[in-house]
A and B are shown apart, each in its own frame.
Chain A
Amino acid sequence: MMQKVKPLDHLILILGTLFLMAPVVMALMSSTHDPVDIHSNGLYFTPGSNGAATYGKVLTHKGGFTGDVTGMTMLMNSMIMGIGFAVGKVVLSMMAAYALVYFRFRFATLLFWMIFTTLLLPLEVRIMPSYQVMSKLGLLNSYTGLIVPLLASATGTFFFRQFFRSVPDEMLEAARIDGAGPFKFFIDILVPLSRTMMAAIFIIMFIYGWNQYLWPLLMTTDESFYTLMRGIKSILQVWIGSQIPDYNEAFALAVLAMIPPVAVVVIFQRMFIKGLTESDK
């Protein structure tokens, strides 16, 4: 490229980066300060000396701000939710896509439409009835209730369907000549072929599951099932009416809630971008 790079380009990029990163840095730094200092001096851009104590308290202290639950429990629950959702999504959608692409059977078109209609309506527009269904099924305050209903959207299925359709037909022809049945073909050929795609979907879905807010808010009243996102709501409720809220603890919780997904995105950047831009969702 013979294009000249102007300093203005860098200036715009630096300003953009500052706009995006400054709040994150400030949250991280402020979480290591004393709440009284934050209250009187405002937010910090430099590290303080209170970090170990704050994070220790947030992670292990029962009832720091939410009553019965420690940050550690919430971290665990968020992890269960993120991983459980991602695994469920990969398994369910791979199987469904396999059936839709590789089999000729009655009602295939109808089933295809039944599954893909779920892309039309996000959870937010049917929260009230979803809640009623969950309570009828007795799934409130359970991991099943937290994870399984979110699997109802067909994003993963759509993505795997596209991928399977791009697999050369010769694969199946060769496998059939060798006498492989549908199960053998799926497990011995298709699954190993899809490894990269599975990883990309897993990453995107882990972040999606980890970041869920509204669903855990409705599904869990029992604090032992609280996720970090649910915990954020609780700190804010404690704030109302308190003299000097525990800003540092709130920031610490925010930092804990953002480290795992951010780390995953940064570490698996290339795979993540590929998965995201190719699945278009």
Chain B
Amino acid sequence: MTDMTVRTRSADRALLLRLRAWYSAETPNPAKRVQFDRPLTPWLFLMPQLAVVVIFFYWPSVQAVTSSFYIEDPFGFGATFVGMENYTGAVTSSQYAGTAAFTAFFCIVVTALSLGLGLLLAVKADKVIRGASSYKTALISVYAIAPPVAGLIGMMFFDMHMGPIKDLAAFFGHDLRVGIDYWDTAGALVTISVWKQIPYNFIFFLSGLQAVPVSVREAALIDARSGWRRFRDVTLPLLAPTAFFLLVINITYAMFDTFPIFDVVLKDKPANNPMTLVYKVYLDGFKGNDIGGSSAQSVILMVVVAALTVMQFRFLERRVHYG
């Protein structure tokens, strides 16, 4: 009994301490010893940003939450309060479960592949000396290509008439039908999304690797002759913070930033094709005119993203050192 209370208390305390540590890391105050002491001037500097944030962030966000509790008349004749109906309706529909499952699958595969390939290329680029900068420039340049452009080019590659991937698949005896076959489409979407994201991971892993001091590298070289062991025991732990940060970024990318790729490849005609939750929010809202249902799905997604971002934010502050 006493043991129990003690344990709960110390757990509470630990949580409290962690919260306090987090909060003090987030508060802007202790940074400067000297500050200006004027009550009005800071408002002047903050005003433009605040105005934009209130009008274009808070207003729509509140609106999303409100309209998720209403069913709007499709012809604009008012709205009826329905409580949680939009949420239960959205979550219990069989299509939603399928889309959520695909989104999870898509996030895992895209994140794993683009992180893995980005890391592999970064480790190799860090090793070579001859031609290192040419490889780097070539690998980085793809970063700047917009997702819809990536989607367009990718779509041509997987095209049923002239796409080279179609021929490649035929060579292996597979009849590739992107846009018609569920898993063929999923494969194309994964490939394009990974292609677009590798450079980003490459940049971060490479700069993480190059931040490892020469003395550490040389010590590692003496201690571990085998390249694989050196990678596992020295490089990988040193890269862990970068990898964790990238993990969150990549999940966010797979969930949200791939929207244009889906839109270009599926061309508004989703039929039975795979799609992510964000794409479904868009389709239900703009094509299906189901504003309440779409808003409810938005709110669910907001909660998911908020959780992800809090993870990232906490981590970010810990990584930053103020000179």
Contacts and interface: CB of A to CB of B under 8 A. Distances in A.
B28 A258 contact: no
Given A23-B157, A128-B64, A13 B128 contact: yes
A118 to B, nearest CB: 5
Interface stretch (A48-56, A60-68, A103-111, A192-200): A103-111
A98 B46 CA distance: 8
Contacts of B127: 3, 5, 9
Contacts of B144: 207, 211, 258, 261-262, 264-265
Contact of A157 (B49, B129, B294): B49
A16 B121 contact: yes
A95 to B, nearest CB: 4
Interface residues of B, number: 106
Nearest to A40: B162
Contact of A115 (B49, B167, B260, B282): B49
B235 to A, nearest CB: 12
A152 B49 CA distance: 7
19 contacts: A1-B129, A9-B124, A12-B121, A12-B124, A24-B153, A38-B162, A96-B48, A120-B309, A120-B310, A125-B256, A129-B64, A151-B56, A152-B55, A153-B57, A176-B34, A186-B45, A232-B149, A254-B149, A266-B140
Interface of B: 27-29, 31-39, 41-46, 48-50, 52-53, 55-61, 63-64, 67, 117, 120-121, 124-125, 127-131, 135-149, 152-154, 156-157, 161-164, 167, 195, 198-199, 203-204, 207, 217, 221, 245, 252, 256, 259-260, 263-264, 267-268, 278, 281-282, 285-286, 291, 294-295, 298, 301-302, 305-306, 309-310, 313, 316, 319-320, 322-323
Interface of A: 1-3, 5, 9-10, 12-13, 16-17, 19-21, 23-24, 26-27, 30, 38-43, 91-93, 95-96, 98-106, 108-109, 111-112, 114-115, 117-122, 124-133, 137, 148-149, 151-154, 157, 161-162, 165-166, 169, 172-173, 176, 182-183, 186, 207, 210-211, 213-214, 217-218, 229, 232-233, 236-237, 240, 247, 250-251, 254, 257-258, 261-262, 264-266, 269, 273, 276-277, 280
